[in-house]
Amino acid sequence: MLPLTPPAEFHSAKIITFSAAGQRLRELKAAGKTVGLCHGGFDLLHPGHLQHFESAKKLCDVLIVSITSDRFVSSRKGAGRPVFPEQLRAYSVASLSSVDYVVITDFEKAIPIIETLQPSYYIKGPDFVGKMTPGITAEREAIARVGGEMKYTTDIKLSTTEIIEYIKNELDVPHLLLVIDRDGTLIMNDDFLGRNKDWKEELRLNEAVVSYLSYLQTKYKTTKIVVTNQAGVARGYFDCQRVEEINRYIDVVLRGKGLMIHNWQYCPEVEVSYAELKRHELTFVPGFVKEKTKRKPSSEMVYDALQQLQKKQEDFAEILMLGDRKEDRGLADNLRAKFIDVKGKGYGELRKDFS
């Protein structure tokens, strides 16, 4: 979200409190007026929104628009959203002649808003006609409970999310290569995850890093590569199949959060020199002890990923290496990348590291 604090000139008499809205709607209905309610985030106000409000106003005498608060827009749309804070979104909508009142509501769903305001009509776009998802079904039931009616506009649908995707992917924005360490960076676990059968219960995402990556992919074009040293294979703690199973599982979890990793790389080997140094305290699987490996800080895993993706370092405006260890910093040096040390940092601190 843009770091904007709306000054006094961004206030409007049309923006009223939630409690005042309830009282005002009761007065309007008592006077015989029909009241329509539109509800949403209405981030990056665009022609689709304008046409929707104009069509909604034709269905009622008075139109009130409920603006979802920042925290619920962010939880639904992900890091980087909303683009504008709730006060500015409310001000933008209140500036429209088709809108009579605007209220900012701090609810995850529209049901409590409908039940409190009790509008004559709850008005949605044409894409909701016949839709039977739990959310819209609950909204239909809520408007019926308060004696109101569901109405739909017939305008062409435009999507803020799709507009942002177009700007992000089609316009001339920087393309970043994000090289990401796994254990201790992408996930909190850094103690040979996979040794135990219940590793799924042990797995903990690093939510600060996940949110940061989501923010970066919203603001820039990004290609994301995970590179991880997995000496646990060489030590006999688990096999390559287990490493790949964990990577696939993390990948699915991240996709569910809207975050796509484009390539996964791991090195299961250790160097002979290391094995010799540790031979009195550790036993190694002979096939995974090599004179030379692709372990970080070597950049070979990154080069393998780029080759598989049919990309080159020159394709990117900048390379970021996210990690928590000395070898991650060494890899950043070898790639001439900016190193972002994630150790002990929250989302806000990470954003300050690269803006």
DSSP sequence for 314-346: GG-SEEEEEESSHHHHHHHHHHT-EEEE-TT--
Structural domains of the chain ordered from first start: 8-160 (3.40.50.620), 172-353 (3.40.50.1000)
Question: Average pLDDT of 313-328?
Answer: 96
**Positive or negative: CA dihedral 34, 36, 37, 42:** negative
Q: If you average pLDDT over every residue of the chain, what do you get?
A: 91
Determine whether 30 is exposed, middle or buried from the number of CB atoms within 10 Å of its CB (0-12, 13-18, 19+).
Answer: exposed
Determine whether 97 is exposed, middle or buried from the number of CB atoms within 10 Å of its CB (0-12, 13-18, 19+).
Answer: exposed
Question: Average pLDDT of 50-76?
Answer: 92
What is the DSSP-derived secondary structure letter of residue 185?
Answer: T
pLDDT tens column, 126-141:
888 888 899 899 999 9
DSSP sequence for 205-249: B-HHHHHHHHHHHHHSEEEEEEEEE-HHHHTTSS-HHHHHHHHHH
pLDDT of residue 336: 96
pLDDT of residue 4: 52
pLDDT tens column, 279-300:
899 999 999 999 999 999 999 9
Q: Which residues pair with 177 in a beta bridge?
A: 223, 319
- Whether the pTM exceeds 0.95: the reply is no
Contacts of 239 (CB under 8 A, 6+ apart): 233
pLDDT of residue 10: 65
Distance CA 250, CA 205 (A): 8
pLDDT of residue 47: 85
pLDDT tens column, 204-234:
999 999 999 999 988 888 999 999 999 999 9
